[in-house]
Structure 1
Amino acid sequence: MSDARPGPARHETQDERADRNFAELLQELRVTQTGVQILFSLLLTLAFTPRFTTLDSFQRGAYVASLMLAVLATALLLTPAAVHRRLFHEGFKPQIVAVSSRLAQVGMGVVSLALTGSVLLVMDVVHGRAWGIAAGAFVLLLCAGLWWLLPRLVKRGVSRS
C-alpha cells in the first residue's frame, strides 16, 4: 500500500495549499450551514404552535435536545468563519485550516444527532414511540454510514488500486 495520494502531484506552496483547503472547506460549510440553519429555525417555531402544549415529557425532552444540538451544530459550523476573520492577517492560515476542519467534522457529528432527535420527535408525535425510536435510529445509522463509513470505504478502495 502506497502513502501517495491518487492523481497528479500539486505544485503549490504551503500557503497556497492552506488557501485552497480553506476555500474548499468554506464551500462545504456553505452547504451544511444552510441545512442546519433551516432545521434550527423550524425547531424554534415549533414551540409556538398550538400542538406543542400536548407533547409529553419524552417528546419535550427530544425537542429541547434537538434544539440545543441544532444550536451547537450552528455554532460549530459558523466558528471557522469567525476564527478566520480574527486571524486571517496574522499568518496562521495552516492552523486556521486545521482547527476549522476539526470543527466541521465535529459539527457534522452534532448535525447527525440533531437530525436524529428531530426525526425521532416527529415520528413519535405522528406514529408513536416505537416508530419514533426506529426512525431516529435509522437516521443516525444513515448519517453514520454516509458521513463516516462511506468516506472510509472510498479511501480503502483508492488505496488498494
Structure 2
Amino acid sequence: MSDAVESEQSRLARNVNELLQELRVAQAGVQILFGFLLSIAFTDKYHATSGHIRVTHLVTVLCAALAVAFLTAPAAWHRVLFRQGRREEVVRVGNTFALVGLAFLALAMSGTVLLLAEVILPTWAAIVVGACALIVFAGLWFAAPLSAKGAQHRESPQSQH
C-alpha cells in the first residue's frame, strides 16, 4: 500500500474513533435521562396528572428513545461494517446519525424541562421555560458551531474543512 492510502486509512480510523468517543458522552446522558423518564410513569403522582402532561411525557420519552437509537447506531454500523473497508461510509453516516441523535436529545432534554415546569408553573410559563431550554440547546449545539464554521469560511475562503 502506498503512503497516501495509508494516511487516508489512518485518517478514517481516527475519524471513526473520534466519532465513537464523542458518542459515548452523549449516550451516557441520554440513557440516564431515558431511565428517569421511564420511571416517572410508575409513580403514584403520575396517575393523578392531566392528559397534556402525560402527552408531554410520552413525546419526551419518544424523543429520548429516538436519541438513543440514533446515538448508538454509529457503533452498530461500525461493528457490522468495520471489516469490509467501509470506514468512510461509517464516518459519513455516523456523523449524520450523531447530529440527528443530538437533535432528539435536545428535544428530550427540553421536553423534560417542560414536563417539570408544567408540574410547578402555570401552562404559559412552563411553555416559555421549555422553549428557553430548547433555544439554549439548539443555540449551543447547532447554531453556535454553524456560525463559527461560517465565520471561519468567510475569513479564509480557501480553507476546506
TM-score for both structures, normalised by structure 2: 0.89
Between Structure 1 and Structure 2, the one with more helix by share is: 2
Unaligned runs of 5+ in 1: 1-11
Partner of 2:71: 77
Give the counterpart of 1:33 among 27, 45, 49. 27
Q: 2:34 corresponds to which letter in structure 1? A: F
1:1-161 equivalences under 5 Å are: 13-159=7-153, 160=155
Work out the CA distance in 2 between the residues paired with 1:135 and 1:92: 44
Q: 2:11 corresponds to which letter in structure 1? A: R
* CA-based RMSD: 1.4
SS in 2 for 1:89: helix
1:55-90 CA-to-partner distances (Å, cap 9, x unmatched) read: 111100000000011011001101111111111101
Work out the CA distance in 1 between the residues paired with 2:40 and 2:96: 31
Unaligned runs of 5+ in 2: 1-5, 157-161
Work out the CA distance in 1 between the residues paired with 2:146 and 2:15: 20
Q: 1:27 corresponds to which letter in structure 2? A: Q
TM-score for both structures, normalised by structure 1: 0.89
Structure 1 runs (4+) deviating above 6 angstroms are: none
Q: 1:145 corresponds to which letter in structure 2? A: G
